[in-house]
Structure 1
């Protein structure tokens, strides 16, 4: 059987998560080949909401300027209606958490505005349009994308992974790599070949949908999502804000085109508007998390690892994008021999609990409470900002965390807790105000402090070390430009420091400078970066 290519990393799946994985790896100079069974990007837009944390990741990849953020005054609202042009029963905000409602009430009463946890506002771009941006950027950066390549087998040994695929000419070929990322969706071929079971609420229902174009903007009244509530039509109608709409049916009934057109008119409440049907869809509403996200040299990401149904927290595609942001720098560190392969074990330890928490949080929210059963009891609903910006990582790659800590809090409540992402705050650099997120992390380990003495400490550690640490001194390299102080934001004294990983997560913190700072920092880097060369020069 011919061997067509060998790359350090094979990515299976060229949708949002697979393409994001390839871009994250390209950022770290890791060549990849992406295998995709479909011939082109799906005609169905599918996801549309991309969170602030996701846009932060795309900022780091240099493509956020191609993704329009939602306007500052934009508030996503949902209405329960008889039809768009008929009777409206009630409307609610996109978020149904009490804290969000309280924040809105505070704004109405003239209280201080809600704290800004990110420099990004999130985006409401249809998935097919975002995938086109990701694909173009990946190709431009040297990623090889092979479409119409269907995986039929995968094998691995101590030296690498071999994937057998059927190419567009129906020939079987083998592709080899050091590692493989399975981003091939909820029906993942890779996961099935590895026989990795899944846990969770499971299958809830099968749904049908129809994608269409129609001139409906004048009937929206500032609302983008509509729950259609009629005796003979229970459905969900939403817009992709580009002239396309999707009507989702809570059943598994196949309808012909005249019937679909009739149902669309029924949901609109008018039959005299032009409707152009684009395509139909059929999908399972399922909540399942794989029992492990790693099998040797193979890693599950996105829906292959966790199938989370569409919800107001945006846990589906966004969670998968966050997966590969976590994994890519670790693969790069191991492939470049800076870190030992043990670093890769932290991927499952960090990302699987996030998926499990998000699985459980879905069923604390209004949309999915109806699907609760004895196997999925109601839990405590956590704040949206805590879930988006303040989920905690517990792994051997973080010092200063334990199981007694909450699974998620808002960034200001964490105040620089190791295992959480560095909180956003504004700094001034070269006369320009930027987020600290644009200064630290990105592609390197970073020590953040307000004391210049740490500069010599990092220089000592870097001599003879396979893992290099850059030092950012607040007050010298950048100036704190936000309210309060960065010491409060990171929980430090004037002499303390925080060590950030390439993905911006805090791996370690010392509130004050220790007695032997160089030895201390060197030992910390050796531990949290799983450094191969532990000799200190």
Structure 2
């Protein structure tokens, strides 16, 4: 069979890739060796930036209500037990006075960063929602189907897969490997990795118990002295992380009761797990027509920054529009080189930030000597430097809060409310957009077939009344003219062709 893009792996990154590719009109086939999601929920807590991407794809409103919907700041405290004494709270990002999804400035003024909020849905419930939406958009999702081998040539990739019957071939123009931290595809490509490497191994027990009364103060993670790490999935399920050894069921119950601080509750043990915690980033995110995404590209230990699943979803979002542009002939294949240039530095920065903090992973090593960047900078203020961005020089920091960037090329376009329920971010996602408020820019964009959105408020984009910003399909700013140049049409045409690797 023939498809445009073959995605290998049906976790969050792979399913998101299928979703975003289908949303861009790409023929995409996904193969996943398991019949469904893991019975262990694993990740919980998706950032407002992930919420923005799902909002653009039309799925945000379909997500279930969330206990964590007012933000992504997950609080952690050391305790005697859940019901016992509470000691010091440990902070992930530098403490700051926060509004639900923005920052409180001096004098009480609010800076809102996003129209979306953090999503407190467990991974085993998020994945089926993404799969269903991807299928609705036309993606071919094949569960219980394993890729046995693959090869690539100058024209595409040939994979041999097997479901319930005999093996068969799939021919694709490109392959996205989202096949996990062990990634057979990455290994077959000979791509090596760097980073802290193996950290430790932990056991886990997933259980259900009526413990909502201990969540009323907004704390959701607990370091229990002498026991382990306890956290909630926000839906009645909890996970307790323990030292790596064998536990009988009576021993697991005893540990759960010790962590809770009482033994008079009905506790249902759902499943157990054994987890290898490591940190590694691939030395390259692509080779030929094959691209790595999610844990295949970067294995990052669980953190309150949400640098695992969320970063993988953003990989998929970044890659999808570029593959679509190349496949439909709008851009040259050189645009795909910017995927590694933009996303690998993000993974390296996340690795750095995890080990710049005391988040339970620095057991046998020193902290990274690096300035701490708060969640607002990491979620909303990452800077991309690549040939798809004009004007993002090496002198600029890797991340800042959005108001500090003020519309800098290489950063996500700023959120401003245009009307109740409508954000500037809702203008982006389908194609290239020029943001301006001058008729000459409107004429220039019409010549190129680029949609022009005339906004009266251009200050958040760092523009004068005669300036313009060119925004990519992923909502990132590719270029801007802070004022009106002598020849707006020529300036826009040059910027578009350079940043899009355009063929028109």
TM-score range relative to shorter protein: over 0.9
Matches within 5 A, 1:387-398: 387-398=378-389
Residue deviations 1:426-456 (CA, integer Å, cap 9, x gap): 113xxx45110012x2111000012122111
Q: In the superposition, relative to structure 1, how do residues 344 and 377 fare at CA in structure 2: closer, same or farther (>3 Å)?
A: same
Q: Residue 410 of structure 1 corresponds to which residue in structure 2?
A: 401
User: Structure 1: which 5+ residue stretches go unaligned?
Assistant: 463-467, 476-485
Find the partner of 2:450 among 463, 466, 469. 469
Contact kept in structure 1, 2:5 and 2:29, CA below 8 Å:
yes
Partner of 2:358: 366
Give the superposed CA RMSD.
2.1
Q: Could you tell me which residue of structure 1 aligns to residue 422 of structure 2?
A: 434
Describe the superposition over 1:488-524 as per-residue Cα deviations: whole angstroms up to 9, x where unpaired: 2111111110000000111000111111111121111
Deviates more, 1:185-194 or 1:340-349: 185-194
Q: Which residue number in structure 1 is paired with residue 239 of structure 2? A: 246
Deviations 1:281-300 (CA, angstroms, capped at 9, x unpaired): 11111110000001110000
**TM alignment of 1:225-304, pairs within 5 A:** 225-230=221-226, 233=227, 235-249=228-242, 251-304=243-296
Moved more, 516-525 or 282-291: 516-525
Aligned counterparts of 2:302 and 2:72: Cα–Cα separation in 1 = 20
Question: Does the 8 A contact of 2:105 with 2:111 survive in 1?
Answer: no
Shift of 1:421: 0.7
Map Cα deviations across residues 30-80 of structure 1 (whole Å, 9 max, x no partner): 011101011111111111110010000000010000223534499643221
TM-score between the two structures when normalised by the length of structure 2:
0.95
Partner in structure 1 of residue 48 of structure 2: 52
User: Structure 2: which 5+ runs fail to align?
Assistant: none
Displacement of 1:99 after TM fit? 4.5
1:133 is aligned to 2:129? yes
Preserved contact between residue 194 and residue 280 of structure 2 (Cα < 8 Å): yes
CA distance in 1, matches of 2:368, 2:130: 38
What per-residue deviation string (whole Å, max 9, x for no partner) do you get for residues 305-349 of structure 1? 001111111111000111111110110010001110000000000
Secondary structure class of the residue paired with 2:96: helix
Cα displacement (A) at 1:217: 1.7
> Aligned with 1:271: secondary structure?
coil
In the other structure, the counterpart of 2:334 is 342
Match of 1:85 among 83, 86, 97: 83
Q: 1:109 to 1:240 in 2, by over 3 A?
A: same
Query: Whole-Å Cα distance in 2 between the matches of residues 75 and 503 of structure 1?
Result: 25
* 1:87 CA drift (Å): 2.6
Deviation per residue, 1:361-407 (Å, 9 max, x gap):
11112214734736x74211112211111111010111111111111
Q: How far is 1:186 from its partner?
A: 0.8
Matches within 5 A, 1:322-337: 322-337=314-329
Change in CA separation of 1:348 and 1:244 when aligned onto 2, cut-off 3 Å: same
1:108 CA drift (Å): 10
Aligned length: 500
**Residues in 2 aligned to 1:102 and 1:474: alpha-carbon distance in whole angstroms:** 28
TM-score by length of 1: 0.89
